[in-house]
Structure 1
Amino acid sequence: METHPSLVVKRSYPDLIIYAGEVTLGEKGRKKMDPKKRKLEKTRITEAACALLNSGGGVIAMQIANKTEHPVEMGQDLEKSLRELILSPNLQAFFETKQREDQFYIFVKSWNCGPEGGSDKPRICSLASSLYCRSLTSKVAMDSRDAFDFLKDKKACVKCSPTDDTAPPVKIPRATCQNNLESNVVFEIFQSEKLEYGQRLPFSESTFIEFKQFSTKHAQEYIKNIIPEYISAFANTQGGYLFIGVDNESKSVLGCPKDNVDRDSLKTVANEAISKLPVFHFCSSKDKVSYETRVIDVFQEGNLYGYLCVIKVEQFCCTVFSEAPVSCMVDKVKGVYSLNTEEWVRMMVDVGPEAASKEQSSLDDLSKDFECQLSLSNSPPHCRPVYSKKGLEHKADLQERLFPVSEDCLKYTPESLWSELCSQHESLENLVNQQICSFSCGLLILSRSWAVDLNLEEKQGVICDALLIAENSPPTLYTILGEQDEQGQDYCTRTAFALKQKVVNTGGYTGRVCVMTRVLCLSSQNNTETNGGSVSPIDYPSSYNLANIQEMQGLLQALVIVLLNFRSFLSDQLGCEVLNLLTARQYEILSKSLHKTRELFVHGLPGSGKTIIAMKIMEKIRNTFHCETDRILYICENQPLRDFIQEKYICQAVTRTTFMSYKFRTEWIQHIIVDEAQNFRTEDGDWYEKAKEITRRMKNCPGILWIFLDYFQTSHLQESGLPKFSHQYPKEELTQVVRNADKIAEFIHQELEKIRDDPPFSIPQESLSMLQEFNWPQGVSGTFELTYLSLEKVVSYVADKCHFFLSNGYSPQDIAVLFSTDSKRREYENMFLREIRKRRRASQMNDASVCRSNMFDSIRRFSGMERSIVFGINPYTVEQPISHNLLLCLASRAKKHLYILYFSGYY
């Protein structure tokens, strides 16, 4: 990673501030400068601008070298370079300037590929693409927009090719010129052993032919300099020949005098220059540029005069660069740094799941079942696409519910937290009101720690943080301390910086934005700011103020994405990261104070997202209590769910059996999350008492014990070890199904009603009231079938369906074939697998992935997991009181397609 030491990133501010040193400004001043110094200054400014555009925006600060008391403009050369950078004459779309005495500031808004400055723009800004192509007789440097189109076309060609993984690069045995006669003539010259000095070549320059003369003195250095651009141009077009040593106008062979160059070193220098060219493959090939170099003797009057160098270049399958592209990013740790070739290409063509999807079926599911909340087509470079399940609240609805803005008042939210804080701290209300009394329209969003909300570590001594979103003001973060603390400003600054970055780079906010900071202290004599309590090093332009309710709502909707996003389980299938949004109810549970809610029972109906909340709360525990991941323990009943959580690297994950084992060491554990607790048993001891004992070990600071369960999915009749329902306090409920398609949700509802009408003794009567709130988002298409067939026909049915899905873009990882017990799985698995393999081989499709997949399991072992397609094979249990529970557990695993197949005469 190449860094830029001449650009200094200021770390003590809540924004990205790059100090570019002393710079001469003003048209007259810059014209008088030494050209080299002027170029160096321009490079520093454009590199800083590029880095900020690509990293969420910020400020370039510089000191005016030519002292003046009067305002100065940047200078035409600087303005021109910035226009070229943003591919637009409209500098105001991304830049504003301001001068304060001898300090000059360029305010940079985050880049996005929306309408500013033109449409269909690249995902990132670049100073140079280092990509070339041929246009008639010229090599042409691609600007970043040309490069973006070129890369998109290359990627599309590879994606559309039926043999894109195995197809070799296109070969050209002879240069593909206008006609075969010219091709043959060129190839014959290329194959020549010797040519005469002054000999006129029988062809001219074209798209496929370039003539260059040797430099009179430094032949080898000359070759090193010209080869990268011409080889890139030929390889990225249709291939061709580079003749070095031919006069362009007369087409005469001149060569290079033998006294100026050594024959072998000439070829070596050319080959080394080509071998160093960066390439990027969209296909599976690992090939470098395919070329051949010939050094041809040039004779004059029968004597060896010198040498002609000819390089034949074949068209490349993907992309060839003359050098690494020139593009920058910045963060407070690395400073300003350059992207390497692979990073640059991947960011340039990062156009979302529509282009990246490995499985067409997953992409189809995404488009049919989800609504786009944030598209990459009009968002900053670091954003990920955001989708929510159809029928769930849109980001605008979530914003209106969580962060409503009124035209005629300034609201405090959440009101319950504000009341609680005011009752705990007598002077808090006056202190806060003093700060915001001048604002009449907006929202004050309170949190016990905005740092934790942003996945940063909490700071002790902070009573609360309050984010002000008000009309005619920039967003302002207030940190209220109980006592004076020198580190308070640093905490507030880091939190405000993270907030600003995430609103842009995660939330997709495309307006101008900064976050001001203020640190207040309750214990100070006048209830005013602490020393240095306000960091306002730069006077931002008025365009950074939120001008009206619409701008406030736009920022708040970006904030909703920041706070409610989680990585979709579809990401791995789609081949790129996709974010989903929590529901408002899920977010409310996650927003609870962990200091006050050490123990919690979360009752969630099937498919309501309990495991997602469990994962998110473990991240919050880590930041709230500053603990390592191995101090957080996740316990579940089954190995598949344990393995799934273990792969997230956010905790230790074990099964209940392991947890209760005498070999399992618990000394290091502080916090415990229990999932699918309804299926726990007491055969190995009282797991609940053990978990409580561990988390309450430190009496002054007990750990977290959150337990997630769903009585309606209980799959056994043994003692679960859970405390009585009346003793499960505090408790929360999740009643909205977010996983399953309409028809599957309807079946789940039917089974829940059957359980309600005749509940087994393992389900407390008090819990049945949850069913009155059961609901699901409407409009998600899917399949539900319940069929009775003979064993042979069931096997054939499943094999046919699996073959259909696997042939239409689904993968084995999308399918689960679940049996009533693990012994039944072992009994029938090979029978089903043989039939599936037969159909795959008959269609000449590779079945290796089927063999390696974990398609087969039991219903109980698969608890807590999910798949797009689920087959339930004879879901029968001799424990009749829980037969509907078993069906419910089976059905809730299926997101899209559910097939329940009974053996005839069995049920």
Structure 2
Amino acid sequence: MKKHNPSLVVELSLPDLVINVGEVTLGEKNRKKLKKTQREQEKEKISQAACALLNSGGGVIRMEMANSDEHPVEMGLDLEESLRTLIQSSDLQAFFEINQQGRCFYIFVKSWNTDFPPEDRFKPRVCSLGSSLHLRSATSVLPMNSREAFCFLETKKRNAKLLEKEPPNKIPRVAKQNFRCAPWETSISFFLNPARLIFQRDHLEHGEILPFPESQYVEFKQFSTKHHISAFANTGGGYLFIGVEDESRKVLGCAEENIKHEDLKKEIEDAINKLPRVHFCQSQCQITFTVKFLEVLDKGQLYGYVCVIRVEPFCGAVFSEAPRSWMVKDKEVCCLTTEEWVGMMMDTDPEATELLKLSKDFESQLSLSSRPPLSRPVYSKKGLEHKEDLQQRLFSDLVSSEDLQFTPESLLKELYSEYEGLEELLKKEMHPFSRGILIFSRSWAVDLNLQEKQGVICDALLVTQNSPPILYTILGEQDADGQLYCTRTAFTLKQKLVNMGGYTGKLCVMTKVLHLSPESNAESFEGSDSLIKYPESYYLADTKQMEALLQSLVIVLLSFRSFLSDQLGFELLNLLTVQQYEIISKNLRKTPELFIHGLPGSGKTIVAMKIMEKIKNTMGCEKNEILYVCENQPLRDFIGNKDICYSVTRKTFMKTNSNFEKIKHIIIDEAQNFRTEDGNWYEKAKTITERGKDGPGILWIFLDYFQTSHTDCCGLPHLQYQYPREELIRVVRNADKIANYLQEIMHEVRENPPPNIPWESLNIFSEAEWSQGVPGNLEMSKHKDMEQMVDYIAKKCHSLLEAGYSCKDFAVICSIASDVHIYKSKLQRAMRKRKWSQSRNASYIMGKHIVLDSVRRFSGLERDIVFAINPTTAEPAVFHNLVLCLASRARKQLYILIPFEGMTNSASF
């Protein structure tokens, strides 16, 4: 259950995170008059609110002066010091600015980021009031601050990985001392400690002086706290003696009548077992400890007991309680759980092996090394534009222009022609601004994955010098909810610019609602955010700051969750190409039907997924009102698992009893492989999408004639009736060697097209753009029989696994489905010889297995490494199409295995 602070209220009427902490006594003199408990309570409230905003993208703390001063006052030294302690820096203005406006006092909070000096390699990604982690240092128990905790956790994690990889006799002693997942890992110093001899005794004498002092491994106390257990577990273990005076080492004990040691023992054990802890190894072991009561005798008579707790070194980290770190979740200020805190604290860029693997194919567009806590790593495929290039292509080059630019021009022309008086209104509103850019959208809400609002003519984001960003919403007529819509959109934009786009500067997004009346008269209304005056440091000072903001905007608008995320084990964002983004940005109401021709690896499925998200928000429909139709089951399941639509195969779609009564919008994918054997699927889709009372629904059809796998009628309209039509010509999936091979095969298809393909459709090949710079491998080999083929695959898989790849990276593709069953048993047998077997068919595409399937069933999917077994077909006319489809599934490495005999088309290889 999440723990939240009900005294901290998140206000929802502003385009920023605003936390109201209520009344607070301000001013140094006034605060000195307060009772200590009240002073600490107020300080804790403000610290929690500041911590939550630092971790959640920044915002504003609002407080009301409890004192009656009529003149401005300072905040108070103790409150300032608590904020300095929070950020572990004397530079308060790096993250906070303080401003009094009447009786309201505001603290403007910038998002936390780890932009520390380069020489400081320990950079915690989350801000905390306290880590709740403790260490022993000589005879002291010391709390760790965030940086110390980060360093400690990094060391634990690194040593745990070392222990997993290396045999016991090769582990350095230093690593063994801090981990106890096996007997050989225990600290030698811990067991040679003289306290061990006392621990083995049954009784002590009252007043006896123990023959050893306190040390790193020994603590004497009259009573215990959770900090001692955490500190011993985190620092090589030790003994805690309860009932021994710490200075004199004299055994005092707890009187017999005051203690029921069995009950106390259970209470201590329960308390220790409940201590929060995290592991970095696979054992998930418990805290190892022993509670023992030694009798204390006075002249031979039982006087009482000394409780001794022996704590052994712990493999992970033991906390005295959950870390004191806060974040805004679900409109409440909540305390992070221990697992959440550690996950965020350790959430750094991909580790060395993963980063090396990525760096061969991708280039980093957003590193986590100095970014806000909620940011994710963003990479673009090598050979594609960087975010700086994308910013200049989409939002102009601000350096070369002194004027305010309006973009995109095509949308602006549409709007001016549709709405009389809009141009005059905008010129009037923009008159005070000069250098910068005004970015138009039919709905900035939809662009940010929010619901569209009826009655909004357009939104426009102003990014200009000497001003904070301003979001304008232009309405056709007055609407009581217009300001709420604008505020909600601006709030989401600000949050995404920081938490997704990685913007690290001080940022707010102001709002303004404009009304365009039928008589072309306009009214403007300032947003409620105008009640809070942001400091000038929140204004964009120069071109450099404007471009940094626009580059973050590029990431917000063009990023999508990479298909590699599941394989790599962490969330990774990729960027759309400009071509993909322009198609997704189309006005759906003006383009209800669209044919998208895309070359292999041009991202058709990504665009299809993004457009379904846009349909949901633009049309105000539920996911079960959007239908995705494809030819094969694995692709159906892959899209279905994304939870954005209802997903079926063509055969299911064409069942006579399937009317899909709730469906309003349809996306067709891989349409070139559809057939009319079960009826006219295109006419059925048209009928469904045109039956709506409010106009036609969306019918977008994605296809690639180059990958046609049959010679039957596919059911598509003739090419001249596939209108409107867009083309995706930028191939972004494949490594260079594979891409070059694809070009050769596509040339063969164009020169010898199957009879069911309109030859004009293949002219797209001459316009193709191929991304360069991604290394890869293409090998073709001949084998005398099936046994040799599967042995080659097993051997190659084994060597690639040794090199760091995983089973999730592989696909073994046969030409026809019947071959899959033949090869499966043989391949598993060959793999068992190497003591592993993890092959599955493509239905397990989301699992951690090698895929073994036919080329038709694997159409639309992809893997890093593909083995193509005996590419052939019963229909020679589509042989090259089939080979193209198969080869294009491979991102990085393609292995084509051909038998010596029986392959008439081997010359093509």
Query: d(CA) in 1 for partners of 2:628 and 2:548?
Result: 37
Cα deviation for residue 528 of structure 1 reads: 3.8
Matches within 5 A, 1:589-604: 589-604=583-598
SS in 2 for 1:346: helix
Query: d(CA) in 2 for partners of 1:169 and 1:143?
Result: 25
- The answer to whether structure 1 residue 905 and structure 2 residue 901 are counterparts is yes
Find the partner of 1:154 among 153, 156, 164: 156
Judging changes above 3 Å, is the alpha-carbon distance between structure 1 residues 341 and 396 closer, same or farther for their aligned structure 2 residues?
A: same
**Does the CA contact (< 8 Å) of 1:618 and 1:632 recur in 2?**
yes
What are the superposed Cα offsets for residues 841-886 of structure 1, whole Å, 9 maximum, x if unpaired? 2xxxx43567983521111111101011111111112322211111
Find the partner of 1:878 among 870, 874, 880: 874
What are the superposed Cα offsets for residues 339-361 of structure 1, whole Å, 9 maximum, x if unpaired? 11111111111113227xxxx5x
Equivalent residue, structure 2, for 1:105:
106
Equivalent residue, structure 1, for 2:7:
6
Judging changes above 3 Å, is the alpha-carbon distance between structure 1 residues 635 and 585 closer, same or farther for their aligned structure 2 residues?
A: same
Cα deviation for residue 798 of structure 1 reads: 1.7
Judging changes above 3 Å, is the alpha-carbon distance between structure 1 residues 534 and 38 closer, same or farther for their aligned structure 2 residues?
A: closer
Query: d(CA) in 2 for partners of 1:19 and 1:526?
Result: 41
Equivalent residue, structure 2, for 1:718:
712
Query: d(CA) in 2 for partners of 1:713 and 1:849?
Result: 26
Equivalent residue, structure 2, for 1:142:
144
SS in 2 for 1:387: strand
Judging changes above 3 Å, is the alpha-carbon distance between structure 1 residues 807 and 847 closer, same or farther for their aligned structure 2 residues?
A: farther
Matches within 5 A, 1:359-508: 360=353, 363-406=355-398, 407-508=401-502
Query: d(CA) in 1 for partners of 2:115 and 2:271?
Result: 39
Cα deviation for residue 280 of structure 1 reads: 1.2
SS in 1 for 2:360: helix
State the superposition RMSD in angstroms.
Answer: 2.1
Equivalent residue, structure 2, for 1:218:
none
**Does the CA contact (< 8 Å) of 2:666 and 2:699 recur in 1?**
yes
- The answer to whether structure 1 residue 826 and structure 2 residue 828 are counterparts is no
Query: d(CA) in 1 for partners of 2:667 and 2:58?
Result: 39
Q: What is the letter of the counterpart of residue 702 of structure 1? A: P
Q: What is the letter of the counterpart of residue 707 of structure 1? A: I
Q: Give the number of aligned pairs.
A: 883
**Does the CA contact (< 8 Å) of 1:465 and 1:479 recur in 2?**
yes
SS in 2 for 1:259: helix
Query: d(CA) in 1 for partners of 2:840 and 2:807?
Result: 6
What are the superposed Cα offsets for residues 211-234 of structure 1, whole Å, 9 maximum, x if unpaired? 11x2xxxxxxx44xx1x1000000
**Does the CA contact (< 8 Å) of 1:638 and 1:655 recur in 2?**
yes
What are the superposed Cα offsets for residues 573-612 of structure 1, whole Å, 9 maximum, x if unpaired? 1111000000011000000011111000000001000000
Q: What is the letter of the counterpart of residue 367 of structure 2? A: S
Equivalent residue, structure 2, for 1:54:
55
**Does the CA contact (< 8 Å) of 2:863 and 2:891 recur in 1?**
yes
Query: d(CA) in 2 for partners of 1:646 and 1:112?
Result: 36
Q: What is the letter of the counterpart of residue 837 of structure 1? A: R
Query: d(CA) in 2 for partners of 1:378 and 1:604?
Result: 38
SS in 2 for 1:479: strand
What are the superposed Cα offsets for residues 125-184 of structure 1, whole Å, 9 maximum, x if unpaired? 11111101111111110011111111111122222333699999346899957597x53x
Judging changes above 3 Å, is the alpha-carbon distance between structure 1 residues 441 and 240 closer, same or farther for their aligned structure 2 residues?
A: same
What are the superposed Cα offsets for residues 250-282 of structure 1, whole Å, 9 maximum, x if unpaired? 222111222333333332332232122111122
Query: d(CA) in 2 for partners of 1:744 and 1:341?
Result: 46
Matches within 5 A, 1:678-693: 678-693=672-687
Query: d(CA) in 1 for partners of 2:7 and 2:712?
Result: 69
Query: d(CA) in 1 for partners of 2:591 and 2:260?
Result: 80
Query: d(CA) in 1 for partners of 2:186 and 2:260?
Result: 27
- The answer to whether structure 1 residue 351 and structure 2 residue 348 are counterparts is yes
- The answer to whether structure 1 residue 815 and structure 2 residue 813 are counterparts is no
**Does the CA contact (< 8 Å) of 1:48 and 1:60 recur in 2?**
yes
Cα deviation for residue 94 of structure 1 reads: 0.3
- The answer to whether structure 1 residue 337 and structure 2 residue 331 are counterparts is no
The more displaced of 154-163 and 627-636 is 154-163
Q: What is the letter of the counterpart of residue 763 of structure 1? A: I
Query: d(CA) in 1 for partners of 2:605 and 2:80?
Result: 53
Judging changes above 3 Å, is the alpha-carbon distance between structure 1 residues 697 and 179 closer, same or farther for their aligned structure 2 residues?
A: closer
Q: What is the letter of the counterpart of residue 836 of structure 1? A: M
Cα deviation for residue 702 of structure 1 reads: 1.0
Cα deviation for residue 796 of structure 1 reads: 2.4
Judging changes above 3 Å, is the alpha-carbon distance between structure 1 residues 279 and 534 closer, same or farther for their aligned structure 2 residues?
A: closer
Judging changes above 3 Å, is the alpha-carbon distance between structure 1 residues 8 and 165 closer, same or farther for their aligned structure 2 residues?
A: farther
Q: What is the letter of the counterpart of residue 864 of structure 2? A: S
**Does the CA contact (< 8 Å) of 2:828 and 2:837 recur in 1?**
no
Matches within 5 A, 1:211-226: 211-212=220-221, 214=222, 222-223=223-224, 226=225
Judging changes above 3 Å, is the alpha-carbon distance between structure 1 residues 802 and 608 closer, same or farther for their aligned structure 2 residues?
A: same
- The answer to whether structure 1 residue 855 and structure 2 residue 851 are counterparts is yes
Query: d(CA) in 2 for partners of 1:320 and 1:330?
Result: 26
**Does the CA contact (< 8 Å) of 2:839 and 2:850 recur in 1?**
no
Q: What is the letter of the counterpart of residue 628 of structure 1? A: E
Cα deviation for residue 88 of structure 1 reads: 0.9
Find the partner of 2:612 among 608, 612, 618: 618
Cα deviation for residue 532 of structure 1 reads: 6.1
Query: d(CA) in 2 for partners of 1:205 and 1:536?
Result: 61
What are the superposed Cα offsets for residues 295-315 of structure 1, whole Å, 9 maximum, x if unpaired? 111111222222111100011
Equivalent residue, structure 2, for 1:837:
832
Equivalent residue, structure 2, for 1:219:
none
Equivalent residue, structure 2, for 1:243:
241
Find the partner of 1:762 among 756, 761, 764: 756
Matches within 5 A, 1:458-857: 458-523=452-517, 527-529=521-523, 535-698=529-692, 700-791=694-785, 792-838=787-833, 840-841=834-835, 846-848=836-838, 853=849, 855-857=851-853
Equivalent residue, structure 2, for 1:217:
none
Equivalent residue, structure 2, for 1:45:
46
**Does the CA contact (< 8 Å) of 1:405 and 1:549 recur in 2?**
no
**Does the CA contact (< 8 Å) of 1:782 and 1:897 recur in 2?**
yes
Find the partner of 1:201 among 210, 233, 240: 210
**Does the CA contact (< 8 Å) of 2:323 and 2:338 recur in 1?**
yes
**Does the CA contact (< 8 Å) of 1:137 and 1:210 recur in 2?**
yes
Query: d(CA) in 2 for partners of 1:662 and 1:351?
Result: 53
Cα deviation for residue 699 of structure 1 reads: 5.2
Judging changes above 3 Å, is the alpha-carbon distance between structure 1 residues 249 and 700 closer, same or farther for their aligned structure 2 residues?
A: closer
Query: d(CA) in 2 for partners of 1:336 and 1:629?
Result: 31
Judging changes above 3 Å, is the alpha-carbon distance between structure 1 residues 472 and 258 closer, same or farther for their aligned structure 2 residues?
A: same
Equivalent residue, structure 2, for 1:129:
131
Cα deviation for residue 764 of structure 1 reads: 1.6
Sequence identity, in percent?
A: 58
**Does the CA contact (< 8 Å) of 1:605 and 1:737 recur in 2?**
yes
**Does the CA contact (< 8 Å) of 2:840 and 2:852 recur in 1?**
no
Cα deviation for residue 775 of structure 1 reads: 2.0
Cα deviation for residue 705 of structure 1 reads: 0.3
Judging changes above 3 Å, is the alpha-carbon distance between structure 1 residues 676 and 906 closer, same or farther for their aligned structure 2 residues?
A: same
Query: d(CA) in 1 for partners of 2:520 and 2:673?
Result: 57
Q: What is the letter of the counterpart of residue 765 of structure 1? A: W
**Does the CA contact (< 8 Å) of 1:18 and 1:59 recur in 2?**
yes
Judging changes above 3 Å, is the alpha-carbon distance between structure 1 residues 669 and 173 closer, same or farther for their aligned structure 2 residues?
A: closer
Matches within 5 A, 1:271-350: 271-331=269-329, 333-350=330-347
Cα deviation for residue 93 of structure 1 reads: 0.7
Judging changes above 3 Å, is the alpha-carbon distance between structure 1 residues 717 and 172 closer, same or farther for their aligned structure 2 residues?
A: closer
Judging changes above 3 Å, is the alpha-carbon distance between structure 1 residues 484 and 753 closer, same or farther for their aligned structure 2 residues?
A: same
Equivalent residue, structure 2, for 1:869:
865
Judging changes above 3 Å, is the alpha-carbon distance between structure 1 residues 87 and 783 closer, same or farther for their aligned structure 2 residues?
A: same
Q: What is the letter of the counterpart of residue 151 of structure 2? A: D
Equivalent residue, structure 2, for 1:15:
16
- The answer to whether structure 1 residue 189 and structure 2 residue 189 are counterparts is no
